[in-house]
Each structure stands twice: as structure tokens, then as C-alpha cells.
A and B are shown apart, each in its own frame.
Chain A
Amino acid sequence: MSRLYTQDHEWIDVAAKESGAEATVGITDYAQGQLGDVVFVDLPDAGRAVTKGGEAAVVESVKAASDVYAPVSGTVTESNPALADDPSLVNSAPEADGWFFKLTLSDASELDGLMDKAAYDAFVASL
């Protein structure tokens, strides 16, 4: 299992770097800090096809709605049911219990452009 990051502040855990593998997607601690108090997350339904860089979910803070993009292309298999009852999990545990959705990868080569933790931390530090 390895965790990769996007410049849009999503993370993705991939079980294996191969097409058809399952992955879990969420937003980073930096992202939740920028959003502030999360009050609702509009998650994709299972079966929905998402495209790398395309809109996959919407996270609503008190102040505004923000798009969350798919780090890679694939088909959604499950969204996090816990976020419906407690959207603040995105603030308290963004990189654990506050995950957004799971998907099966359609093109594992799309992972190549993503950052590892060291590269993402350096990216955040540069902002």
C-alpha cells in the first residue's frame, strides 16, 4: 500500500500499481485546514466513472463549496458512509476515517505523475 498526492491536495492509497486495483481517495490535512469547518460532503455514487482531474465530489464548509477532483480515472466502488452522519471527520481525520471514496483504477500509468509524501510536503511548504 502506498500513498500518493496531487497538487489539488487529494491523497490516494493504492493497493497495487496495476489497472483494476482498488484505491481510496481523500483530501489532505492541508486541504481541510484551508477549507475550515466541513458541514457536508457530496460524494459520488458507486458505479460512477470518474476521470483524472475531473470533478468527483464536493466538500461544503460553512463558507463555500469546493470541488474535489479524481486523482486518477476509474470507477467508484464505495463512498464513505460515515461522512453523511459526521462530515467533521474530514477536519478531525482527513487522512484516515475522513476518506471520501474508493475506486478501481482504469489506467495505473496515471499514478506516475503523482507525488509521494516527501514531494507533497515540499510542495505544501512552497505555497
Chain B
Amino acid sequence: MADDADLKTLPLDALHRRLGARMVSFAGYAMPIQFDGIIAEHLWTREHAGLFDVSHMGQLLVEGEGAAEWLESLAPGDFKALQPHRVRYSLLLADNGGIRDDLMVTNTGKGFYLVVNGATKHGDIAHMQARLPAGITLHHMEDHALLALQGPEAVTVMSRFDLTPESADQPAFADLKFMAGARWLWNGIKLGITRSGYTGEDGYEISVPSEHAEALAEALLAHSEVQPIGLGARDSLRLEAGLPLYGHDLDPETTPVEADLSFAISKRRKTEGGFPGAERVLDQLFNGAARKRVGLSVEGRMPAREGATVWVGAEQVGVLTSGGFAPSLNVPIAMAYVATGCAADGTALEIEVRGKRIAATVVPMPFKQKNYVREGDKK
């Protein structure tokens, strides 16, 4: 852990401490790892609504003529076809096709709003600045906090807030569907809200000016459905949802195909290429990659952790990149990269933990069925 004196604080620091959080160092910031306990917080989020402070993440605005084309030179999404107020998951790729970061991209109507990982944001900004053409601006919204309200009751809670579209071209809040976003005014405060998240549940991510973050968090926590949730449960929730964590399940040596994130390569880009590492990535897409990210169900009760090796008999076929206990399923689960020949659902493997072999089986992800409310679903 970094020396406390080196840690930066986030806008909700005082609130977290008041709520009894245990604070840890994460991405250079003091952040809450837990409040009541990871299992209780995890289960609360699956049943009700959890409030997460994710203000360590980088919020960026890309604006100017040709912004979509420029983003397409960095990431394999079809940003030219991304409609206003729609959100896409994408990947910032290195020249060799390795994943520099994963991110969410929202078309604001005026440009693009990006949310990148906290630990990688400064590297991302430097990478983008170095490639920024004339006429396009990159703005780091360092004066904004980011809150996530996640869980089946998030929609009920937000429906009680008086949210006015910021301008006539913004949709009504009640019409906001999964993977969409826009801006609203709450008590005169501008909020950028997307219906998205990192838990496998329905919910929202809310960008708020830092000076109003505590007032918004308090207003959300005032509802009986909402409890504060720490990073510990955020990790167990995303693992159950099969969502990769950058720096663990994704890194600069790993391509989107190996990471089983080919869905993030838009159809047009699969044909046209033109993104970093396209030759390698598209070759893997059409001819296969040597390894693949898979989900593993782990027999017994003993969790297997990141770094544990995966075996078939005497041959090592992979390594765990995430692993732990799944509170909603009450069993250990893991993500691993394994040789493609061992990646089919149902393949029996062994994981080595402290010199012992534990049986594991390749299973489809998510481990826990997602509860997203998609467009066309009954409200």
C-alpha cells in the first residue's frame, strides 16, 4: 500500500469516513473498500440499490470536427454510426492490437464523453494527446465526480428525483434506456447520466460537478433502497457478471479476440479495419487466437485467486486472471486465459492452489444472469 501521505483524496472522502468505510489505496486514491462487509453489500446491490463512488475513473470529453473518425483511429468501435445519447463499450488499442484500456463512449450530440479506468487515465490522456489532430479537443473533467447507482431498485429511486432535460434536444429521464445517456438538471446542477454500470444489474452512472457530489450522494442515500457500497463488492459483482477488470483480465499484451471481447469490434470495422493492430486482431478474429478468456466454476469451497495456474494433467494450459468467492452463487468462481483447445464450455481442468489441484470446469459467462433493462423490454 502506498504511504498515506501520497494518497490523493476524492470529493466524497469525508462522507465515506463518516459512513464508517474502511479506506484503502486504489489507483493512487484513498477509496472505500467496504462499509458493512463485502458479502452484505454485494447481496444488497443484487436486491436493492448500491451507491458506488467511482470518481477515480477518468472522465474525458472529445469534441471537434472529425472526432468520431479520430476515435476510430484509436479504438475498434463504429463511432460514426453511434447515435446521439447512445453508449458503447470500447477498447483503446496499442499498435500491436493489445488492450491499453477499456472504456465507455457516449455520443453527447456535441462530441463524445469517455469514461476510462482510474489507474490508466493519465497514460490514456498522454496517448491521446500525442495523437490529437488540429481541430479536436480533449478535455479531462477533473472537476467532476462519478457515482454509480446499481441494482434492481435504482430505477425506482431515480424516478423520485426531479430531473429536467438540460436542453430541448435531450430526452426525458423516464425514457432513458440501457446503454443510453444524456444531461439533466437537478436543483440547477448539471448531471450527465448514463444507464449503464459494472455490476450486471440495471442502474446508472452519474457525472456530477465535484462541489455537488456530496449533496447528490446524500440525496441518494436518503432513500431506504440505497446503501453505500465499496470496491470489494464492486469487484465481486463484476466478476459474477463476467465483466473483465483492466490490469487483471485485460492488459497491453492481450488482444480483444483473446479477451473474448470481439463484440467490441463493430461490424464495419471488422471489414474495414483501420484501428491499431487491426491486421493481428482481424487475423485472430477469422483464424482463431492461441488463447482465450473463459469463466471457470471451481469445485468445492476454496477460492482460487489471480495467478493460480490451470492444468490438464501434467501440462499447464493457462492462468487465472481473477478469482474469488461469488456471494450470490455461494461458490468460488474465476476467470482464466486458457489454450483455445481447452476453452470450450464443459472442459474439465484443474487449478493449482498452494500445491493442491482443484477441479474446475469451463462455463459460459456471466456466472450470474444479468438484469439489464434493454430497449423494448417492458418497463
Is the CB–CB distance between B232 and A36 below 8 Å?
A: yes
Q: Chain A residue with minimal CB distance to B330?
A: A39
List B residues at the A interface (Cβ < 8 Å): 33-34, 37-40, 42, 232, 235-236, 301-303, 305, 324-325, 327, 332, 354
Can you sample 27 A-B contacts with CB below 8 Å? A36-B34, A37-B37, A37-B39, A37-B40, A39-B303, A39-B325, A40-B301, A40-B302, A40-B303, A42-B302, A42-B354, A58-B354, A60-B302, A61-B38, A62-B38, A62-B39, A62-B232, A62-B236, A62-B325, A62-B327, A63-B33, A63-B232, A63-B235, A63-B324, A64-B305, A65-B305, A87-B301
A60-B210 Cα distance, complex, nearest whole Å = 37
Chain B nearest CB: distance from A63 CB in Å? 5
Q: Chain B residue with minimal CB distance to A60?
A: B303
Assess the A39–B301 pair: CB atoms within 8 A: yes
Measured between C-beta atoms, what is the minimum distance from A100 to chain B in Å?
15
Of chain B, the residue at the smallest CB distance from A64 is B305
Interfacial residues of chain A within 3-27, with CB under 8 A of chain B in the complex: none
Please indicate the chain B residues that have their CB under 8 angstroms from the CB of A87 in the complex: 301
A36 to B327, CA, bound (A): 13
- A61 to B22, alpha carbons, bound, how many Å? 15
Contacts of B324 in A (CB 8 A): 62-63
Q: Closest approach, in angstroms, between the C-beta of B39 and any C-beta of chain A?
A: 4
A37 touches B303 (CB 8 A): no
Interface size class, chain A: 10 to 19
Name A's B-contacting residues (CB within 8 A): 36-37, 39-40, 42, 58, 60-65, 84, 87
In whole Å, how far is A68's beta carbon from the nearest beta carbon of chain B?
13
Report B170 CB to chain A, min CB distance, Å.
40
A113 nearest CB across to chain B (Å): 27
**Distance between A86 CB and nearest chain B CB, rounded to angstroms:** 11
Q: Given the complex, which residues of B lie within 8 Å of A36, measured CB to CB?
A: 34, 37-38, 232
Chain B residue at smallest Cβ distance from A87: B301
Q: Please measure, in the bound complex, the distance between the C-alpha atom of A40 and the C-alpha atom of B39, giving whole angstroms.
A: 14
Residues of A within 8 A of B235 (CB): 63
Q: Complex formed: what's the CA distance from A58 to B354 in Å?
A: 10
Residues from chain A with a CB closer than 8 A to the CB of B236 are 62
Q: How many whole Å from B241's CB to the nearest CB in chain A?
A: 15
> How far, in angstroms, from A60 to B303 measured CA to CA in the complex?
7
B42 contacts across to A, CB distance below 8 A: 62
Write the chain A residue with the least CB distance to B305.
A65
